[in-house]
Protein backbone atom coordinates (compact mmCIF):
# COMPACT_ATOMS: atom_id res chain seq x y z
CA UNK A 1 0.00 0.00 0.00
CA UNK A 2 1.26 3.43 -0.92
CA UNK A 3 -0.26 6.86 -0.37
CA UNK A 4 0.67 9.44 -2.98
CA UNK A 5 -0.34 12.97 -2.04
CA UNK A 6 -0.19 15.48 -4.89
CA UNK A 7 -2.06 18.18 -2.95
CA UNK A 8 0.99 19.79 -1.37
CA UNK A 9 2.74 19.76 -4.73
CA UNK A 10 -0.29 21.37 -6.34
CA UNK A 11 -0.50 24.28 -3.92
CA UNK A 12 3.25 24.77 -3.44
CA UNK A 13 4.39 24.52 -7.04
CA UNK A 14 1.36 25.39 -9.15
CA UNK A 15 -0.96 28.38 -9.31
CA UNK A 16 -4.70 28.83 -9.72
CA UNK A 17 -4.58 29.72 -13.39
CA UNK A 18 -5.28 27.78 -16.57
CA UNK A 19 -1.67 27.23 -17.60
CA UNK A 20 -0.68 25.96 -14.18
CA UNK A 21 -3.66 23.62 -14.01
CA UNK A 22 -2.71 22.25 -17.41
CA UNK A 23 0.84 21.67 -16.15
CA UNK A 24 -0.53 19.81 -13.12
CA UNK A 25 -2.69 17.54 -15.27
CA UNK A 26 0.29 16.90 -17.53
CA UNK A 27 2.58 16.04 -14.62
CA UNK A 28 0.07 13.56 -13.18
CA UNK A 29 -1.23 12.37 -16.54
CA UNK A 30 -0.68 8.70 -15.68
CA UNK A 31 -2.63 8.93 -12.43
CA UNK A 32 -5.59 10.75 -13.99
CA UNK A 33 -5.65 8.43 -16.98
CA UNK A 34 -5.67 5.35 -14.76
CA UNK A 35 -8.45 6.92 -12.70
CA UNK A 36 -10.55 7.06 -15.86
CA UNK A 37 -10.10 10.71 -16.81
CA UNK A 38 -9.59 11.71 -20.41
CA UNK A 39 -6.97 14.46 -20.73
CA UNK A 40 -9.09 16.39 -23.24
CA UNK A 41 -12.05 16.44 -20.85
CA UNK A 42 -9.80 17.56 -18.00
CA UNK A 43 -8.50 20.45 -20.05
CA UNK A 44 -12.02 21.49 -21.03
CA UNK A 45 -12.98 21.78 -17.36
CA UNK A 46 -10.02 23.85 -16.21
CA UNK A 47 -11.58 27.30 -16.52
CA UNK A 48 -14.98 26.54 -14.89
CA UNK A 49 -13.32 25.07 -11.79
CA UNK A 50 -10.70 27.74 -11.07
CA UNK A 51 -13.01 30.01 -9.08
CA UNK A 52 -14.42 27.07 -7.13
CA UNK A 53 -10.91 25.90 -6.25
CA UNK A 54 -10.00 29.36 -5.01
CA UNK A 55 -13.10 29.44 -2.81
CA UNK A 56 -12.52 25.91 -1.52
CA UNK A 57 -8.80 26.31 -0.84
CA UNK A 58 -9.03 26.62 2.99
CA UNK A 59 -11.21 23.51 3.28
CA UNK A 60 -9.06 21.54 0.84
CA UNK A 61 -5.96 22.29 2.90
CA UNK A 62 -7.83 21.38 6.09
CA UNK A 63 -8.89 18.01 4.69
CA UNK A 64 -5.39 17.38 3.40
CA UNK A 65 -4.02 17.41 6.95
CA UNK A 66 -6.52 14.86 8.26
CA UNK A 67 -7.22 12.49 5.39
CA UNK A 68 -4.35 10.06 6.00
CA UNK A 69 -5.41 9.67 9.62
CA UNK A 70 -9.00 8.99 8.57
CA UNK A 71 -7.88 6.38 6.03
CA UNK A 72 -5.87 4.43 8.58
CA UNK A 73 -8.64 4.63 11.17
CA UNK A 74 -11.23 3.32 8.71
CA UNK A 75 -8.91 0.58 7.49
CA UNK A 76 -8.32 -0.55 11.08
CA UNK A 77 -12.07 -0.89 11.62
CA UNK A 78 -12.32 -3.18 8.58
CA UNK A 79 -9.42 -5.24 9.87
CA UNK A 80 -11.02 -5.69 13.30
CA UNK A 81 -14.51 -6.44 11.99
CA UNK A 82 -13.76 -8.51 8.89
CA UNK A 83 -10.18 -9.72 9.48
CA UNK A 84 -9.28 -8.27 6.10
CA UNK A 85 -6.25 -6.06 5.63
CA UNK A 86 -7.12 -3.75 2.75
CA UNK A 87 -4.03 -2.36 1.04
CA UNK A 88 -5.02 -0.24 -1.94
CA UNK A 89 -2.59 2.21 -3.47
CA UNK A 90 -4.15 5.58 -2.70
CA UNK A 91 -3.70 8.84 -4.59
CA UNK A 92 -4.86 12.31 -3.56
CA UNK A 93 -5.62 14.38 -6.65
CA UNK A 94 -7.13 17.77 -7.45
CA UNK A 95 -9.71 16.96 -10.10
CA UNK A 96 -12.64 18.79 -11.66
CA UNK A 97 -15.51 18.28 -9.18
CA UNK A 98 -16.75 15.29 -11.15
CA UNK A 99 -16.74 12.67 -8.38
CA UNK A 100 -15.41 11.97 -4.89
CA UNK A 101 -13.27 8.98 -5.81
CA UNK A 102 -12.47 6.36 -8.40
CA UNK A 103 -11.46 2.72 -7.92
CA UNK A 104 -9.38 0.77 -10.42
CA UNK A 105 -8.66 -2.91 -9.87
CA UNK A 106 -5.99 -3.88 -12.36
CA UNK A 107 -3.22 -5.69 -10.46
CA UNK A 108 -3.31 -4.08 -7.02
CA UNK A 109 -6.40 -2.01 -6.20
CA UNK A 110 -6.02 1.73 -6.68
CA UNK A 111 -8.18 4.31 -4.90
CA UNK A 112 -8.08 7.83 -6.33
CA UNK A 113 -9.48 10.48 -3.99
CA UNK A 114 -10.44 13.82 -5.52
CA UNK A 115 -9.96 16.30 -2.74
CA UNK A 116 -11.76 19.23 -4.37
CA UNK A 117 -14.97 17.19 -4.37
CA UNK A 118 -14.39 15.65 -0.95
CA UNK A 119 -14.07 19.07 0.66
CA UNK A 120 -17.81 19.52 0.09
CA UNK A 121 -18.40 16.42 2.19
CA UNK A 122 -16.20 17.48 5.07
CA UNK A 123 -18.84 16.66 7.68
CA UNK A 124 -19.22 13.09 6.40
CA UNK A 125 -15.63 12.45 5.37
CA UNK A 126 -15.27 9.33 7.54
CA UNK A 127 -18.43 7.93 5.97
CA UNK A 128 -17.25 8.61 2.41
CA UNK A 129 -13.87 6.96 2.99
CA UNK A 130 -15.61 4.00 4.65
CA UNK A 131 -17.97 3.78 1.66
CA UNK A 132 -15.08 3.29 -0.76
CA UNK A 133 -13.30 0.88 1.57
CA UNK A 134 -16.52 -1.14 1.69
CA UNK A 135 -16.37 -1.37 -2.10
CA UNK A 136 -12.76 -2.51 -1.86
CA UNK A 137 -13.73 -5.11 0.72
CA UNK A 138 -16.43 -6.53 -1.56
CA UNK A 139 -13.97 -6.78 -4.43
CA UNK A 140 -11.44 -8.44 -2.13
CA UNK A 141 -13.93 -11.12 -1.11
CA UNK A 142 -14.90 -11.81 -4.71
CA UNK A 143 -11.27 -11.95 -5.81
CA UNK A 144 -10.60 -14.82 -3.41
CA UNK A 145 -13.27 -16.94 -5.10
CA UNK A 146 -13.69 -15.54 -8.61
CA UNK A 147 -10.47 -13.68 -9.51
CA UNK A 148 -11.38 -13.69 -13.18
CA UNK A 149 -14.49 -11.62 -12.42
CA UNK A 150 -12.83 -8.86 -10.45
CA UNK A 151 -13.00 -5.68 -12.49
CA UNK A 152 -14.20 -2.21 -11.65
CA UNK A 153 -17.41 -2.94 -13.56
CA UNK A 154 -18.00 -6.30 -11.94
CA UNK A 155 -21.65 -5.47 -11.32
CA UNK A 156 -24.01 -4.95 -14.22
CA UNK A 157 -27.00 -2.65 -13.89
CA UNK A 158 -29.21 -5.19 -12.12
CA UNK A 159 -26.55 -5.64 -9.43
CA UNK A 160 -26.05 -1.96 -8.61
CA UNK A 161 -28.75 -1.95 -5.93
CA UNK A 162 -27.37 -5.14 -4.41
CA UNK A 163 -23.85 -3.78 -4.30
CA UNK A 164 -25.01 -0.60 -2.59
CA UNK A 165 -27.16 -2.62 -0.17
CA UNK A 166 -24.11 -4.61 0.91
CA UNK A 167 -22.19 -1.38 1.37
CA UNK A 168 -25.02 0.08 3.46
CA UNK A 169 -25.01 -3.08 5.58
CA UNK A 170 -21.24 -2.85 6.10
CA UNK A 171 -21.33 0.85 6.99
CA UNK A 172 -24.11 0.28 9.50
CA UNK A 173 -22.15 -2.58 11.08
CA UNK A 174 -19.11 -0.32 11.45
CA UNK A 175 -21.19 2.57 12.84
CA UNK A 176 -20.81 4.74 9.76
CA UNK A 177 -23.59 6.43 7.84
CA UNK A 178 -24.30 5.86 4.15
CA UNK A 179 -23.07 9.15 2.61
CA UNK A 180 -25.11 9.20 -0.61
CA UNK A 181 -28.69 9.24 0.62
CA UNK A 182 -29.58 11.72 -2.10
CA UNK A 183 -29.37 8.95 -4.71
CA UNK A 184 -32.62 8.48 -6.58
CA UNK A 185 -32.54 4.75 -5.76
CA UNK A 186 -31.70 5.03 -2.06
CA UNK A 187 -35.08 3.69 -0.93
CA UNK A 188 -34.53 0.57 -3.05
CA UNK A 189 -31.06 0.23 -1.54
CA UNK A 190 -32.53 0.39 1.97
CA UNK A 191 -35.14 -2.23 1.12
CA UNK A 192 -32.52 -4.56 -0.33
CA UNK A 193 -30.23 -4.06 2.67
CA UNK A 194 -33.05 -4.95 5.07
CA UNK A 195 -33.26 -8.39 3.45
CA UNK A 196 -29.61 -9.23 4.07
CA UNK A 197 -28.65 -11.43 6.98
CA UNK A 198 -27.80 -9.70 10.25
CA UNK A 199 -24.25 -11.04 10.12
CA UNK A 200 -22.80 -10.48 6.67
CA UNK A 201 -20.78 -13.53 5.67
CA UNK A 202 -18.60 -14.35 2.70
CA UNK A 203 -21.28 -16.75 1.50
CA UNK A 204 -23.88 -13.99 1.63
CA UNK A 205 -21.76 -11.67 -0.50
CA UNK A 206 -21.05 -14.38 -3.06
CA UNK A 207 -24.71 -15.39 -3.25
CA UNK A 208 -25.71 -11.82 -3.96
CA UNK A 209 -23.03 -11.46 -6.62
CA UNK A 210 -24.13 -14.65 -8.33
CA UNK A 211 -27.77 -13.67 -8.68
The full length of the chain comes to 211
**Backbone conformation region of residue 175, classed left if phi is above 0, alpha if psi is from -120 to 50, else beta:** left
- Over the range 154-177, which residues count as b (16 or more CB within 10 Å of their CB) and which as e? bbeeebebbbbbbbbbbbeebebe
Per-residue pLDDT in tens (0 to 9) along the chain, 211 residues = 889 999 989 988 888 899 999 999 999 999 999 999 888 888 888 888 898 999 999 999 999 989 999 999 999 999 999 999 899 999 999 999 999 999 998 778 999 999 999 999 999 999 999 999 999 999 888 888 777 666 554 555 557 888 899 999 999 999 999 999 999 999 999 998 888 877 677 776 776 566 5
Residues 6+ apart with CB under 8 A from 18: 46, 47, 50
4: part of which helix (H) or strand (E)? strand 3-5
Q: What is the pLDDT of residue 149?
A: 65
Q: What is the pLDDT of residue 157?
A: 54
Q: What is the pLDDT of residue 47?
A: 84
Q: Is the pTM of this model over 0.75?
A: yes
**Burial grade of 135 (CB within 10 A; 0-12, 13-18, 19 or more):** buried
Instruction: Print the domain residue range for 206.
Output: 3-210
Q: Give dist(CA 158, CA 209) in Å, integer.
A: 10
* Per-residue DSSP letter, 181: T
Count: domains in the chain: 1
Q: What is the pLDDT of residue 71?
A: 97
Amino acid sequence: MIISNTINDFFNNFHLNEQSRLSYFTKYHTEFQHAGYDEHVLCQNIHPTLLKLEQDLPLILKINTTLVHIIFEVRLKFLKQYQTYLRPDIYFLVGTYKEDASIQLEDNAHLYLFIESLCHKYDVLYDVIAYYFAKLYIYEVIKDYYPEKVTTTIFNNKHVILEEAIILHILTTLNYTYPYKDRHDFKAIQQSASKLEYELTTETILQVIQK
